[in-house]
Every structure is written in structure tokens, then in C-alpha cells.
Structure 1
């Protein structure tokens, strides 16, 4: 990581200094962000490649109002949620490895994404993941769910893309945006460091400045709302930070377009589609943000986010990440939570992330110190 935190543990943030109520609120927002993103992903999965006209013809004038079958079941998630979960796992392992004096979160996230890429090649866990931690052993994650080409090609070898030498420098698809909410959950980090880390990790698969900076801006917006900022204020903070970054213009224009659309009249699918289709990074970010800003409640925002003729699962996922981070897990529609594929794994990972950030020193210390063997088996330092 090319920030001061990269030089070693001296620049690394410590555990969140929170009381019990604050820790419970943080855990609720982490759970809400990850579950909400997965619900939005699953709502859009069955209509991702349909036009708005086809969606309305098949499901009525309001479009989809509930899960529809995708990949053989209702509530199925896609590669958007798969990659988000591996991003979370990479961030946990980065914090665990910090005790060894190794502090380079982009490398840990990259290794986690390589573990995701391995799930796209096989039928299930095998000897290759024996020492890879618990997430890579979850058989349900080995389903191939229309993964993005840039994500697959960017992770096809072990060379890590960097800002100086990014993978797929011409790609600005939304595949880096849809997995970047977890960077915003690093609530003890400064916003500028969140932006930097998300930018560096996006370069591992999507090297175009818009593909990278849209992912980074999304992380900063999530970060703001997790820390209690209003959603619009968090978006304005992202705009402020983007202004200093070369190549920010498309991302900045898309964010400003989303903020302006809020004031142009009642929300509708047609107004949403004026922001784009969501296949490219800045459009997906703008559409997800717009739906979260105008949402009357979580259900309303998510249904608006998926009922359009574009990348419905990604815009739904982005909107769900935001609304879940704003309101916490208890605001999510319980019927959708109950039927969501992988709910147990998502909750387990969310709780582990919150525990690592708030209780890390009690779980592990420097090599040779008293540590939880169970925790280090789940998140190996190797």
C-alpha cells in the first residue's frame, strides 16, 4: 500500500476504541452492509440481462417485487457477493498478519481474490485450499455466477496489479465497484486511506481511472455512513477527495448526476435509467447511490435499484450495501433475509470482521504471544 500505513505497523490503525453500545452499532452496520448488498444482488440476479420492458411484461407494471428464480433457486447471489465476501476475508487476514510486522493490505486482499478465482475453476474445495482458511472451504461459493471477464483475467496469474502497473488498464467495468464496500467498513481509518486502499485494490483487475476511482469513491461513501454521516454528506466527502485524483472526471460527473437526479422529481425507473445502465463503473455507482438517496425504506430502494434494463444485480448490490450500512441489519426485510443464499456464511463473516476490528488484540498477538488457535486456523497468517 503506498500510504504511510504501508511502511510497517507504526502507521497502521489500531482497534476501534468503542464502548459496548458503539460496538453493537458497528456490528449491526457491518451485518447490514453485507446482507443488504447480497439481498440487492439476489433481487437483480434473475433479471440482470432483461430490458425494462421485458421485466414489466413478465412481472407486471411494478417489475419484480420479490426474489425471482436465478441459478436454480430463489435468493441466489452472484459473483458480486462472492467477491465482496473474499474482500472481507482479505481485510481480516491483513489485520491478523499485522502482528508479524507484515502490513500490506493490498497484497492480502489480492491473495483473497486469488482464492475467489480458484472457486471459479473447480467443483468444490480440494487439497489446494486445505490451509487457506475457512471461507475457501465453503462449497456453496464454488458456483460460477457470471463472473466478469476483467475480474477473471486480472486474477488469471499471480502478478498483482498496482497503480503503477494496473491489470486491464482499459477496463472500467463495474466489477471493482461491486466488491469494494468492505473497505468502507474500516471505520477507524481516515477517509483518505480508505480511498487509497480501495483504489489500489481495484487496480488488481480494473486499471482504468474511472473503474478504480468509482470503486474508491464507493468505499468512502460507505465509510462515511458507517461512521454516522448522512448519505449525501458522505457522497460530498467522496467528491472532495476525488478532486485531487488524476482521471476523476467521469466518476465525479456521475456522482454529481446522481445527487442532481434526487431533486428532479419523484423516483422512477425511467429517472434511474437516465443515469445509465450500470455496466460501467461510474454508472453503477451513480445508480446505486441514487436509489439509496431516494429510498423511502430499504425495500423501496432495493426494488428501484434492480428494476431497470441494465446490470440489475450490481446496482442492487451497491444500493443494498449503502442502505444496510445506513440502517443496520434490523431494517432489512426479514423475508428476504430468511431466503437469502449463504445467509449463515455472510453473518459469520460479518461478525468475524466486526470482532477483529474491535477485539483483535484479544484474539491474536505477535508470534509467540498468547493467541486464539481457532482464530488463526480460520484466518491463517501464512
Structure 2
């Protein structure tokens, strides 16, 4: 179980780094190999370097490792402050997230939520994939056996999402994915539908249909994968059709466009189901990124978070 818990963040980082060089590019033909450090690499990522996807997940991972359950403003304030510090020098920050972080006067939950809501009202939407890409570590704080854990996780996942993404779609996606990750860590099974019951009935029916659609199409068919709905569909499509974790991440990268994020999202769940040790050692040995961490540090933090949650 600890290996699967570590797999959440290691799988995310592997998918993120694998997709980094192919971001903004077109879908890849099945005959084209997907290589760590490959692709046009317009952002100048080093082989094995993770991007904003995993960088934003690290403060959440640290919080979970410290025993926080994302149900208090003080804990969230520390996460927000780390995001703001990261964004000052990061080379790759999503447009929506940069706008929200720039509009936060102080690193408080209230200020972040207000900024996220303002952006949503001004633009009429805020359903980017930037909260889904970081949600994996939230699940690690809720691995306990108490019957109320799934409900508590659903509330925490939505609360963390709304720090930057006010739209229901973003919160719903984080609820679905976080509950699927929890289930996978505990059972070794990847099932994207286990969290549908945590959504209002009408929205649950919509998401059930979206998952059905994902299972009948290829990741590359979801052309708007910067939108949280199609990012989740593309990731689930890759996982559902894959023969193993590597195949799932390669399929996610072949989707094109927002490749690092789709692969990071997929990596959270395949890592949770199969464990960190199921991912190639040659990938893991090269993993690195903000704030100066490598594979071993990610594993240690994830195991600490899981250990606290499991008691």
C-alpha cells in the first residue's frame, strides 16, 4: 500500500516529465516513440524535469506529510504561500493560475477564494485543468478506514480546487479523481466511477456519460484537453485502454496539446493502482524539479503522508 501511495506522486511526476517535451504539439502517431526528454521541448525542460503540474502538487504533498487534512485555513495558507513563491520564478505557470495568484493580496484561503471567484465572474468560466493536475496528494491524507473518509476527501478536494478554480467542473473532476486515487491506493484497482456518488445526482449522471465516452474514444480525440473535462476524459481514455502503466502514460502523451498535464493526471491514478515500483527505473532516476527534489524525496513524503493517514 505504501508503494501505491508513493505511486500517486511518482506516477504524476513521470507522466509530467514524459509529456513536458511534447507540450503544445499535435497528437503523435502510434508509430512515433515517446521518449523522456524527447519532443520539440519548446520550454527547455531537462530530461526528467517536471513542470508546473508536479510543482503545484509538492506543497500539497508536504501538507499531507505533515498530517494536514486541508480542512483548516492555516494549512491552506501555507500551501498558497508556497504556490506564490514558486510562481515568482517558475518558467511555466498556467494562464488562469497566474492570474489568480497575482490577484491574491495575502496568502490566505479567503483571499485566494475571492480571487478565484473574481476571475470566474470576469471571464465567465474557470474550468481549466490546473486544479485537477495537482489533486493527487490530497487523497493521501484520507486513506483511513473511518466510513466518513470518502466524504471528507470529497470536501477537501473541492476546497483545494476552489483556491484557484471556481467552476463546478473543476471541483467535480477533483472529487472524482481524488476518490478514484484513494480507492486505487487501498485496493490496487483503477476505477474512475467510485466517486460519482459524491456529486449531486444531475452532475453525477453527466460525468458517468463523459466517462462512458472516454472509454470509446482515444486520448487524442479530446482536442480541448486544456479544459478540465476533456483532460480527465483523455487521461481516463489512456488508462482504460492501456496494458500497463507505461502504455497508459505514453497514450496520454500521444494525445498532443497539453501533454504534460494529461499524462500527469493519468500518472496519479496508474501510479496509485500499480505502485511506484511499476514505473521504469530509468525514468525515476532522472526525475527532478521544483523545489530541488528528486524521486527519493517524493517517495519519502508520500509514504509519510500515507503512514499518518493509515495510523
**Normalized against structure 1, the TM-score is what?**
0.69
Of residues 234, 241, 246 in structure 2, which corresponds to 1:294? Answer: 241
The equivalent of 2:88 in structure 1 is: 121
Structure 1's 108 and 34: CA in aligned 2 closer, same or farther, altered over 3 A? same
Structure 1's 166 and 279: CA in aligned 2 closer, same or farther, altered over 3 A? same
> Could you report, residue by residue, the CA deviation over 1:3-58 in whole angstroms, capped at 9, with x for unpaired residues?
xxxxxxxxxxxxxxxxxxxxxx2x21122111111110111111110112xx55xx
The equivalent of 1:187 in structure 2 is: 143
Count of aligned pairs: 293
**Secondary structure of the corresponding residue to residue 104 of structure 1:** coil
**Secondary structure of the corresponding residue to residue 85 of structure 2:** helix
List gaps (5 residues or longer) in structure 2.
none
**Corresponding position: 1:61 with 2:28:** no
Of residues 198, 206, 213 in structure 2, which corresponds to 1:241? Answer: 198
Larger Rg: 1 or 2?
1
**Corresponding position: 1:148 with 2:88:** no
Aligned partners of 1:288 and 1:361: how far apart in 2? 28
Superposition RMSD on alpha carbons, in Å? 2.9
Aligned partners of 2:77 and 2:239: how far apart in 1? 29
Alpha-carbon contact 2:66-2:305 (below 8 Å) kept: no
Aligned partners of 2:264 and 2:54: how far apart in 1? 8
**Secondary structure of the corresponding residue to residue 34 of structure 1:** helix
Deviation at 1:323, TM superposition (A): 1.0
* Higher RCO structure, 1 or 2 (CA under 8 Å, sep 6+): 2
**Corresponding position: 1:255 with 2:225:** no
List gaps (5 residues or longer) in structure 1.
1-24, 123-143, 265-270, 363-382
**Corresponding position: 1:48 with 2:7:** no
**Secondary structure of the corresponding residue to residue 112 of structure 1:** helix
The equivalent of 1:11 in structure 2 is: none
Alpha-carbon contact 2:9-2:271 (below 8 Å) kept: yes
Alpha-carbon contact 1:277-1:308 (below 8 Å) kept: no
**Secondary structure of the corresponding residue to residue 239 of structure 2:** helix
The equivalent of 2:79 in structure 1 is: 112
Aligned partners of 2:236 and 2:48: how far apart in 1? 22
**Corresponding position: 1:223 with 2:182:** yes
**Corresponding position: 1:77 with 2:53:** no
Aligned partners of 1:107 and 1:346: how far apart in 2? 28
Alpha-carbon contact 2:67-2:305 (below 8 Å) kept: no
Aligned partners of 1:311 and 1:115: how far apart in 2? 24
Deviation at 1:217, TM superposition (A): 1.2
